[in-house]
Amino acid sequence: MLRQAGTERAFEGEYVDTDDDGLYRCGACGNPLFDSRTKYHSNSGWPSFTEAVSPEAVELLEDTSHGMVRTEVRCARCHSHLGHVFDDGPREAGGQRWCINSLSLDLDPR
């Protein structure tokens, strides 16, 4: 998943329905990526966030695989694949949906 840009099956990831308070870190290197306060239930089947902890935490790349154009999200520290970001998130929170694979994350509870 992290190295070959895979996607876990929808609604099967550990953090899809998790509401625990904490900091989500990269599952490969521990880099802080997402705060649980920005997580929301998008009903997409994957954990969704409205933003990363900082622009420096992630890198965004154009992904033209599977016959579509998307924005891939990678860890800025170790370059592991995390998921994709889309512009169909909650408008009141900036309009982005960071759709992230549970397998690419570790939750550090507060």
Domain residue spans of the chain: 22-109
Run of H or E residues at 22: strand 22-26
For the entire predicted model, the pTM comes to 0.93
DSSP 8: P
Does the annotation mark 29 as catalytic? Answer: no
* pLDDT tens per residue, range 68-82: 899 999 999 999 999
Kindly write down the DSSP assignment for every residue of 24-86, as one continuous string: EEETTT--EEEEGGGEE--SSSS-EES--S-GGGEEEEEE-GGGS-EEEEEETTT--EEEEEE
Residue 22 pLDDT: 98
Residue 7 pLDDT: 82
Which of the pair, 37 or 64, is modelled with greater confidence?
37
CATH fold of 22-109, please? Answer: 2.170.150
Catalytic entry in 26, 29, 75, 99: 99
